[in-house]
Amino acid sequence: MLAQHFFGLGESSRILAFDVALHFGTLLAVVYAYRRELWSMLTGQSWRLLLLVGLATLPAVAVGLGLKSLIEKTFVSPVESAVEILVTGAVLWWTKRFAGEAHREPAPGSALAVGTAQAVAILPGISRSGMTIATGLFCGFSRETAARFSFLMSIPAIGGACLLEAKDLAHFPHALWPQVVLGTAVSAVTGFLSIRWLLGVISRGRLHYFAYYCWAVGLAALLALLIF
């Protein structure tokens, strides 16, 4: 909606281009926040973690490509989105029972479990970071490990989405490139600050606090749909 207001209704290619810019900015934020871990993975020092992140990415790839048309239909159903936000709240609330004091490291089975949560989060009302971090805690990860694995998983997911949408940039007016660059920069800065803030919330065991927000938004959306 913001992009439509900014570029004008009906200009879908411009909207998609701005969407790519925002996604790319988020990608830059995650890469910067976890630059040391990424360097260790890419230089072979953490090759096992690299393989597990790749394994965890497969469910989202399979669902995104295999069920693309079905998933797209959910994006036009505000009722389904509102219900999915309520579901996200329930999952986040359940993390209250998991203190994150266990120190299990990611393994093939748990990586696939977290990856499946990421695939479910393709649905519009499901929080990707919330679902994957919560699933990591359910699998016995420490809070730090659950957050780190979740954000590292987001890199191929967001990067893949950017590549798929990048074709729309070919027809984007050159006169509007400054706005795209600005959008990328703002997304990167706010994304990095959000990551740092979220890590602080998770480290204090307060992830379940977001359940109240999800329930409030979900219920308000359903109420608005009933009234209007």
| Number of Cβ within a 10 Å radius of residue 158 | 20
The number of helices, as runs of H, and strands, as runs of E, in the chain is 11, 0
pLDDT tens by residue, 24-48: 899 999 999 999 999 999 998 999 9
pLDDT band at residue 7 using 50, 70 and 90 as cut-offs: very low
Q: What six digits make up the tokens of 45?
A: 């020092």
Q: Could you give the C-alpha distances from 39 to 49, 158, 188, 222, in angstroms and in order?
A: 12, 18, 19, 45
CA distance 12 to 18: 10
What does the pLDDT read at residue 162? 80
- H helix intervals, 75-142: 78-94, 108-120, 128-138
Q: Is 183 exposed, middle or buried (0-12, 13-18, 19+ CB in 10 A)?
A: buried
Q: Could you give the C-alpha distances from 187 to 12, 22, 25, 72, in angstroms and in order?
A: 20, 5, 5, 24
Least Cα distance to 106 among 46, 34, 40 occurs for: 46
Name the pTM for this structure: 0.86
pLDDT band at residue 101 using 50, 70 and 90 as cut-offs: low
